[in-house]
Structure 1
Amino acid sequence: MNDFDGVLPVRKPAGMTSHDVVSKCRRLLQMKRIGHTGTLDPSVTGVLPLCLGRATRMVEYLQEMPKEYRAVLKFGIATDTEDLTGTVIEEMPKTGITEMQVREAINDFIGPIMQTPPMYSAVKVDGKRLYELAREGKTVERKAREVVIHELEVTGFAAGDQPEVSLRVLCSKGTYIRTLCVDLGAKLGVPSTMARLERTQSAGLSLDRCLTFEEIAERVEAGTLQEMLIRADKAALHMPEHTVDERKMINALQGQKLPAWAVLPSAEGLDREFRLYTPDDRFIGIYRWDEEAGKVVPVKVFLP
């Protein structure tokens, strides 16, 4: 069994679930401890970062980071799955939608928005996945939830009776691009669906850094895979980076609470978790400021 440690950015092909990708990499890498940082539907391609070995303990933090997608939206058709893999439930042969209308409409979707998860999604309601209920022909009430669209731009427009628009989306975790496509059509008063989707960034890793299965297999064979892995803590760029004072390094390594002066820059009053390092840049773990205790306390310690 191999003992790889770090984040492996995989280029996910179409036709596989995220779990399929994990299973295939377990065989290629001959290791069991692998976790992914965010599910992609089988038809969706692109960036799927896998956490290997001890890096699996960072999955929850990497999942929090914004994700970027390239999507193609088709007007004039609505399906039960909100993408072209589903059954057509409404069609409008001629929509009359123009590029200018789309460019004006997208402004209403930038920033915090409310989204209702699609029935064909992995969200759980009363212990059952929504897609399981959908396959049984059931539709249940879903709670709308807030997501954030950081950036949304039109990158292409193919005119016609049922035009297609290409979009680039930078969004928070939990955003359904399928639902965004449907809601954009609804805003313009026409049925719409997602025709294609590729994730171009996740956990701070872009498509050009991703490896195919073939490339992974070649590097495992050549013994050069480890050099392609990213340290999990260094990928979590959304979390502030602090250093422990050398005089309190042993206490930090033992997972003890630390006085405010022992962390630089000061974490006193900081309202979010941060990464803590030794003076020689070894990652100790995730810490937070505890106002009540007046100390820096460990959330998850990595070094022995």
Structure 2
Amino acid sequence: MNGIIPLYKPRGMTSADCVYQLRKLLHEKKIGHTGTLDPEVDGVLTICVGQATKLVNWLLDSDKVYQGQVVLGKATSTEDATGEIIDQKEILTPFTIEQVEAAMLSLTGSIQQTPPMYSAVKVNGKRLYEYARAGQIVQRPSRQVTIKKFQMRGVPHFDEHQHLQMLDFTVVCSKGTYIRTLAVQLGESLNVPAYMSRLTRTAGSSFTLDQTVSFDQISAKLQQNEFDFCLPLEAAFSSQIPRCTLTDEQWQQVQNGSKITLAASSKQVLLTFNGIAKALYQKQADFYVPQIMLLKNDR
């Protein structure tokens, strides 16, 4: 099987759990995902099967879209709702929409983030969460990420009994962004502790939440000997990338990894033969050269 599965990852499963479950269902070893989601985050997890695993790095680079909620007034050890409360500050007067919007705007563009201690980032060969569970402190490397959009959804809710304020938000960001950390940074901008209380990835790798399939749906399809849940490789590419149908002669050149001349002007082009995506080529001088070889045969 070769193709893309826009999987709905439920809460309570790791991304690795999802890959393991699909390997059992599909009897296919060659499976990879295109961007880790924390266990308590649900939503779009794009899965590459068979030859489509060649696209994992390509899809990893795509922007992701999230919807979630941040709680202002408390901080946790994990920066999300699963951790212990480590700091709190009563909010007596709720922040105005203008104040929150200004803080979100200050976190838009290229920003620096330090990954949470409870994360899978490796330092000296060990995951940060391993250090955290052992009670060890280790210096964490910061990284630059890009926040293309950070906006409120709806009206903020103020809990006058707990003196907390809850904000629903939408984020569009680059790979490597920790939304938990972004929630904490929002609190820092407003001078209060904060944590992320829930999160859903609503889009990633060209797929949206309404395009995803669940494990139950996949199981039902397999029982009916149907495989339309696994999309063709070209589904991974934006419609903005032009398609080009190869001649027999050009297909022979592509199979040999040769550069070819095309009547095109775009930076990249998706090459097809017999209606099947075969390769992604990129423009170099007067020619197009291989960027990703998808299939070297007619299947």
State the TM-score, normalizing by the size of structure 1. 0.88
Amino acid of the structure 1 residue aligned with 2:292 = K
Correspondence for 1:207 among 203, 206, 209:
209
Correspondence for 2:7 among 6, 10, 17:
10
User: Could you say which residue in structure 2 is the equivalent of 1:150?
Assistant: 148
Amino acid of the structure 1 residue aligned with 2:221 = R
Contact 2:19–2:33 (CA<8 Å) still a contact in 1? yes
User: Could you say which residue in structure 2 is the equivalent of 1:303?
Assistant: 295
Q: Secondary structure at the match of 2:78?
A: coil
Contact 1:45–1:197 (CA<8 Å) still a contact in 2? yes
User: Could you say which residue in structure 2 is the equivalent of 1:276?
Assistant: 270
Amino acid of the structure 2 residue aligned with 1:219 = K
Q: Is 1:75–2:66 an aligned residue pair?
A: no
Aligned-pair distance for 1:245? 6.2
In 1, the alpha carbon distance for the partners of 2:138 and 2:92 equals 30
Compared with structure 1, are the counterparts of its residues 289 and 127 closer, same or farther at alpha carbon in structure 2 (3 Å cutoff)?
farther
In 2, the alpha carbon distance for the partners of 1:276 and 1:9 equals 20
User: Could you say which residue in structure 2 is the equivalent of 1:219?
Assistant: 221
For residues 44-102 of structure 1, the C-alpha deviation after alignment (integer angstroms, 9 at most, x for no partner) is 11111111111111111111111111111001111111111112111113353324221
User: Could you say which residue in structure 2 is the equivalent of 1:84?
Assistant: 81
For residues 223-258 of structure 1, the C-alpha deviation after alignment (integer angstroms, 9 at most, x for no partner) is 22x223222333222883353763533212221133
User: Could you say which residue in structure 2 is the equivalent of 1:51?
Assistant: 48
User: Could you say which residue in structure 1 is the equivalent of 2:198?
Assistant: 196
Q: Is 1:111–2:109 an aligned residue pair?
A: yes
Q: Secondary structure at the match of 2:53?
A: helix
Amino acid of the structure 2 residue aligned with 1:195 = S
In 2, the alpha carbon distance for the partners of 1:209 and 1:227 equals 12
Aligned-pair distance for 1:275? 4.1
In 2, the alpha carbon distance for the partners of 1:278 and 1:191 equals 53
Which deviates more from structure 2 when the two are superposed, residues 37-46 or residues 280-289? 280-289
User: Could you say which residue in structure 2 is the equivalent of 1:257?
Assistant: 259
Contact 1:244–1:264 (CA<8 Å) still a contact in 2? no
Q: Is 1:288–2:297 an aligned residue pair?
A: no
Q: Is 1:23–2:20 an aligned residue pair?
A: yes
Contact 1:95–1:190 (CA<8 Å) still a contact in 2? no
Aligned-pair distance for 1:114? 1.6
Contact 1:58–1:233 (CA<8 Å) still a contact in 2? no
Aligned-pair distance for 1:128? 1.7
Counting matched residue pairs gives 290
Which deviates more from structure 2 when the two are superposed, residues 73-82 or residues 184-193? 73-82
In 2, the alpha carbon distance for the partners of 1:277 and 1:297 equals 11
4+ long deviations beyond 6 Å: none
Q: Secondary structure at the match of 1:43?
A: coil
Contact 1:98–1:159 (CA<8 Å) still a contact in 2? no
User: Could you say which residue in structure 2 is the equivalent of 1:230?
Assistant: 231
In 2, the alpha carbon distance for the partners of 1:236 and 1:88 equals 43
For residues 89-127 of structure 1, the C-alpha deviation after alignment (integer angstroms, 9 at most, x for no partner) is 111133533242212211112222221111111112222
Amino acid of the structure 1 residue aligned with 2:60 = Q
Amino acid of the structure 1 residue aligned with 2:191 = G
In 1, the alpha carbon distance for the partners of 2:65 and 2:89 equals 30
User: Could you say which residue in structure 2 is the equivalent of 1:169?
Assistant: 171
Q: Which runs of 5+ in 2 are unaligned?
A: none
Contact 2:277–2:295 (CA<8 Å) still a contact in 1? yes
User: Could you say which residue in structure 2 is the equivalent of 1:266?
Assistant: 265
Q: Is 1:61–2:55 an aligned residue pair?
A: no
Contact 1:242–1:264 (CA<8 Å) still a contact in 2? no
Compared with structure 1, are the counterparts of its residues 238 and 115 closer, same or farther at alpha carbon in structure 2 (3 Å cutoff)?
farther
In 1, the alpha carbon distance for the partners of 2:144 and 2:104 equals 17
Aligned-pair distance for 1:165? 0.4
Q: Is 1:42–2:39 an aligned residue pair?
A: yes
Aligned-pair distance for 1:264? 3.2
In 1, the alpha carbon distance for the partners of 2:264 and 2:165 equals 53
In 1, the alpha carbon distance for the partners of 2:92 and 2:183 equals 15
Compared with structure 1, are the counterparts of its residues 211 and 99 closer, same or farther at alpha carbon in structure 2 (3 Å cutoff)?
farther
In 1, the alpha carbon distance for the partners of 2:221 and 2:138 equals 47
Q: Percent identity, aligned pairs only?
A: 38
Q: Secondary structure at the match of 2:171?
A: strand
For residues 22-57 of structure 1, the C-alpha deviation after alignment (integer angstroms, 9 at most, x for no partner) is 111112222222111111111111111111111111
Q: Is 1:33–2:27 an aligned residue pair?
A: no
Q: Which runs of 5+ in 1 are unaligned?
A: none
Correspondence for 1:182 among 154, 170, 184:
184
